[in-house]
Chain A
Amino acid sequence: MIMNRLDILFAQKFNNILNIYCTAGFPKLYSTTAIMLALQQHGADIIELGIPYSDPVADGPVIQQSNMQALENGMTIELLFTQLASVKEQLHIPLILMGYINPVLQYGMENFCKAAAGSGVSGIILPDLPMYEFDKKYKGVFKKYGLHAIFLISPVTSSERIKKADELSGGFVYAVSSSSTTGSVNSRENIGGYLKRIQNMKLKNPLLIGFGIKDKESFDEAASYGAGAIIGTAFIQHIAAAVDINHATAQFISAIHGN
């Protein structure tokens, strides 16, 4: 069996891992593969693609808007897998898919996992699939196709559930930096305390921190509590009106890296 690319990455790199999120089919229906290659070329470590959904309840206005735009553009799971197949040979960094459960259920969980694995996907985040449902119904399918499930934890998650999320996750655990929808941060005060508490729990998985990270400063701070951080909203905003996606992506990543 081929090793999962997330495992390879985390075995080699322990800090400042940069995971960038983008909604598939945004800003244009066929932007996604170009964005993926640009992210890889300019130094992102992980690509997280969002599957657009009509009712993204865990997302703030910017990502909501990108979901609506992508759906208007005509993005579907089927088309996304076709697009991914076209860049599979050129992509070497880990790719994860993030999506709400309903479109995935309509596609069929087994079909979805099979197509994802065949398209070079290493991990899947389904924020409204609770751990209980995953554990009971879908763990086996993920395993069969060599996919990691990645669960979210937040400042209000109990230690017991953090352990459960760690046990069920592979690759990394996604620590939401504050109790909020994507793109916003409610209070920065307690983030340190919460993330230190998790660090001290000595989880088996590395931690990536996300939500509300927008520049070098917030990236460095967040990444200091784990193996790295995830940026979504700020990247979406940056490329929303970009004429040259490759240039805009290069610009964004070098700003985060402080070059």
Chain B
Amino acid sequence: MLHPDKHGYYGEFGGAFIPEMLHPNVEELRNNYLKISRSSSFKKQFSQLLKNYVGRPTPLYYAKRLSKQYNTNIYLKREDLCHTGAHKINNTIGQVLVAQQLGKKRIIAETGAGQHGVATATVCALMGLECIVYMGEKDIERQAPNVARMQMLGATVIPATSGSKTLKDATNEAIRDWINHPDDTHYIIGSVVGPHPYPDMVARFQSVISKEIKKQLKLATGKELPTHVIACVGGGSNAAGAFYHFIKEKKVQLIAVEAAGCGLDSGRSAATTQLGTPGVLHGSKSFVMQTKDGQVTEPHSISAGLDYPGIGPLHAHLYKSGRAVFMSATDEEALSAAFELSKLEGIIPALESAHALFALHKMAFKKNDVVVLCLSGRGDKDLATYIKSI
């Protein structure tokens, strides 16, 4: 199932569990997102900005030494080469254009690693819109360069000081801000989470990733379809984008990699499908890491972008239906994969993407397999963490 039904459900997951105060804003978006994003003027602006501003298409790079290491064919989809350093900007460009069409003047966002915050601050600077980014206090500390970037781009960064002081709490604060600003504000959610229509809207904007993969793979190999697509999953937007055009192609194996943190049994993890149960978080029904009483638990991952106790409803459905395989990589494993890619290919990946890279260790590929791995971001923002391991 690629798209949700009209109430936002992918099978049993999704929906729009929002306080009534948010209903008009969410309803306005629901009634307009498809109409706007299908209009020819939107399509033209969106594709031109993706090309000339973001730098798309991003290369599909045949990683020769990495392929040799795993005795197969590995292609890296280079989202790390997008302007601002991650796939997140595909979505923020799309949403800011929608927000403009809806006449919004003020943009809010949540951010974990700061990549979505930077991508939002960037498009707001580009369009001359006010930008407020909520970020967990803990993430502000561990992603300091991105905080400085957002500020330089003119955004106001507001620390979220409640709960675990990470992405979940930043999202709560953004939702509260939206409740308090019902008229002039658009909330740019950074992943395929949130109430309907966000998961679908964000997946559509990110779907450019797999659209390009198909074309590029055909040029490189003569075939459009890989045997495997691998991506990391925080909320799941880069994975949704990388999987999108392959979801209906049952022969393509989809592999989602979650953050196991200190290990699945350690009590300090963020592997939502492995440790979570069905529940409602941030407006949709999905898998949620929670106590038996339904209190959302504090996740842990070395990577701020994967440090989230939920997962988008599309992925909950892909997991439950067995369409995608879910794996996890620990903090240590992700670190080792980051160093391996740096040394073998001269590419320093984001810590999030390093989780996807570790899946290469866990899989047994055949020599003729064609594996596409979504390298969702670059590692500049994670240098402080990497330096500790050198």
In the complex, A200 has a CB within 8 A of chain B: no
A179–B21 CB distance below 8 A: yes
Contacts of A8 in B (CB 8 A): none
In the complex, B175 has a CB within 8 A of chain A: yes
**B295, closest chain A residue (CB):** A54
Chain B interface residue number, banded: 20 to 34
A76 to B294, CA, bound (A): 9
In the complex, B158 has a CB within 8 A of chain A: no
A152–B293 CB distance below 8 A: no
Contacts of B21 in A (CB 8 A): 58, 152, 154, 156, 176, 179-180
Interface code B290-326, partner A: CB below 8 Å = 1, 0 otherwise?
1011111000000000000000000000000000000
Question: Assuming A130-B18, A153-B20, is B296 touching A68 (CB within 8 A)?
Answer: no
B19–A104 CB distance below 8 A: no
In the complex, B168 has a CB within 8 A of chain A: yes
Question: Assuming A55-B168, A130-B16, is B296 touching A102 (CB within 8 A)?
Answer: yes
Interface code A111-140, partner B: CB below 8 Å = 1, 0 otherwise?
000000000000000011110110000000
A64 to B179, CA, bound (A): 15
A103–B182 CB distance below 8 A: no
**B174, closest chain A residue (CB):** A57
A152–B162 CB distance below 8 A: no
Q: How many Å from the CB of A26 to the closest CB on chain B?
A: 15
B20–A157 CB distance below 8 A: yes
**A161, closest chain B residue (CB):** B23
B24–A55 CB distance below 8 A: no
Contacts of B4 in A (CB 8 A): none
B17–A106 CB distance below 8 A: no
Contacts of A58 in B (CB 8 A): 19, 21, 176, 179
A57–B293 CB distance below 8 A: no
Q: How many Å from the CB of B88 to the closest CB on chain A?
A: 23
Interface code A141-185, partner B: CB below 8 Å = 1, 0 otherwise?
000000000011111111001000100000000001001110010
A106–B290 CB distance below 8 A: yes
A1-47 contacts to B (CB < 8 Å): none
A48 to B262, CA, bound (A): 41
Contacts of B296 in A (CB 8 A): 54-55, 102
A231 to B197, CA, bound (A): 34
B5-19 contacts to A (CB < 8 Å): 7, 15-19
A174-204 contacts to B (CB < 8 Å): 176, 179-181, 184, 186
Q: How many Å from the CB of A158 to the closest CB on chain B?
A: 7
Contacts of A181 in B (CB 8 A): 176, 179-180
B19–A76 CB distance below 8 A: no
Contacts of A91 in B (CB 8 A): none
Q: How many Å from the CB of A212 to the closest CB on chain B?
A: 12
In the complex, B288 has a CB within 8 A of chain A: yes
**A78, closest chain B residue (CB):** B293
B294–A104 CB distance below 8 A: yes
A155 to B180, CA, bound (A): 12
A180 to B19, CA, bound (A): 11
Q: How many Å from the CB of A36 to the closest CB on chain B?
A: 22
In the complex, A71 has a CB within 8 A of chain B: yes
Q: How many Å from the CB of A183 to the closest CB on chain B?
A: 11
A106–B24 CB distance below 8 A: no
In the complex, A105 has a CB within 8 A of chain B: yes
Q: How many Å from the CB of B290 to the closest CB on chain A?
A: 7
In the complex, A53 has a CB within 8 A of chain B: yes
B112-171 contacts to A (CB < 8 Å): 162-163, 168
Q: How many Å from the CB of B376 to the closest CB on chain A?
A: 26
B23-50 contacts to A (CB < 8 Å): 23-24
B23–A105 CB distance below 8 A: no
A59-81 contacts to B (CB < 8 Å): 60, 64, 68, 71, 76-78
Q: A68-B163, A102-B296 are in contact. List 18 more A-B contacts (CB 8 A).
A: A54-B295, A55-B163, A55-B281, A57-B175, A102-B281, A102-B294, A105-B279, A106-B277, A128-B19, A130-B15, A133-B17, A154-B21, A154-B182, A157-B24, A158-B24, A161-B20, A180-B180, A181-B179
* Residues of B that sit less than 8 Å from A by CB: 7, 15-21, 23-24, 162-163, 168, 172, 175-176, 179-183, 277, 279-283, 288, 290, 292-296
* Residues of A that sit less than 8 Å from B by CB: 53-55, 57-58, 60, 64, 68, 71, 76-78, 101-107, 127-130, 132-133, 151-158, 161, 165, 176, 179-181, 184, 186
Task: Supply 21 A–B pairs (Cβ within 8 Å), ascending by A.
Answer: A54-B163, A55-B281, A57-B175, A58-B176, A68-B162, A105-B280, A105-B294, A106-B279, A106-B292, A127-B20, A128-B18, A128-B19, A130-B17, A151-B20, A152-B21, A156-B24, A157-B20, A158-B24, A179-B180, A180-B21, A180-B180
